[in-house]
Chains A and B, each alone.
Chain A
Amino acid sequence: MDVKKSPLKISNLVKRYGSYTAVDNVSFEMKPGEIFGLLGPNGAGKTSIISCIVTLQKPDEGECTIFGQNPMDHPLDAKMHLGYVPQEIINHGYFTVEEILVFHSGFLKTWNNKEKIHYLLNRLGLWEHRNKKVKALSGGMKRRLLIAKALVHDPKLLLLDEPTAGVDIELRNSLWEFVMELKAEGMSVLLTTHYLEEAEQLCDRVGVIQQGKLRKVGPTKDLIEQLTQRQVSLIFRGDCANGIKSKYLVDVEDDTARFLIPQDLGIGELITEVDCEIKNLLDIRISEGSLEDAFVRILGEGRDQ
């Protein structure tokens, strides 16, 4: 493994199921230590991309490399650095939570790691359930077991495919907290999620997938800045709001005039442009564009193409 190389590089990846192209020439590269969000509607091809990375599916064209190694060509090396949390729950009919973690450690050439296993059981709230079989666990616990499994061998790259789907809000928050901790320890994380608000808080960069195509990729902040506008509401005394004129004005309601302004326009410039009497201005409220706004716009543009 070459730690200086990108934890994950996807080059011109194509995956077809029969005649249907689920992943259509996707390329992107992760930076070491970042959290990268792969976002897209259901059926966009996110799981197919992850399946190609972990070799559950064979790419039809292109390749994925993990720290410079293609897991198809170097399965035994490349897979050692990989932690994978699948979207679908695994049922493991026969074994208990702790046994599963011990076996999974062994598969990853890791043994005598009781401390690590106990740490993960505790950290993920599975300690009391360690002697239960998987079918006796709740949905949220099954998912936490998958996460524990992915971490027994201290991987350098963690792939999380919708880790919070069907998980209640409290658990979701604690999971994301845990992911931030892992990042702080230097792990690179690729995740897919439906919750854009969470992706906005967590992800250093995101890629937006639609119908198998990568529509946009970039730092989360930059995408929001480029693709959304700030909404500014000016609240006036009396009925002063009614006289307002501006090319940025969206609407006026009672005492409030609402504007959408480009990210690079200063508030001062807006107020100068509006040309109102400052002493009548009671309040200013600004709401920033969100990742969700950017996402909706990207998908809209994608559909028009």
Chain B
Amino acid sequence: MSAQFSIRDLAVSYGRVRAVKGVSLTAGEGQIISLIGANGAGKSSILRAITGLTAPESGEIWFDGERIDGKGPDQIVARGVAMVPEGRRIFPFMSVRDNLLMGAYRRKDNAGVASDLEGILTRFPRLRERIRQQAGSLSGGEQQMVALGRALMSKPRLLLLDEPSLGIAPIIVREIARFITSINRDNGVSVILVEQNSRMALKLSSHSYVLETGKIALSGPSHELAENDDVRRAYLGG
């Protein structure tokens, strides 16, 4: 059985800067895997390569038995991959509603879109209250909810999350963690979670990869990594 998603020997460079130097990883259907590592380790570069925002230098990216590297973001999104990018990147001068509807851009099933929108507003009641407000006027946590909701509106089968807890109040981080668990469990969405909040990442995921300067330094079941002395010292604060 081959995994739903896999990366083989991926390399990403920006001019002379080699950000990712031969990374391989896999994610099974319905799995949450996490990618942890210090700032600048290359986590975002991997996600950007998966969605086609950055063209990989070499390597292969496979999704559902099809090679997707070299395709444009629109083609990759059409195949069921969605991403919440680093820094959320919501559309600040657009209403919350329009932001969420942008996520459904490629969908033709209007009834399904309406009911999914309703589902997201039920999960995040704060967004329902602010549905007509410009998204840029929302708090950081609320903006993250918009970004998550927007990504879900495309009905993805693989969701990439780039530091969803960054700069967000702890109480909302917990809400977002519950949300990630529930979409994985209820909707069967596979998740690749990138986090500097390693504690949260190891807790939510079943398998984790530790990235150091563009290479995988360590990988394994998350509960084992959480016990690993090196990981505890470097990423969990002792």
Is A bound to B? no
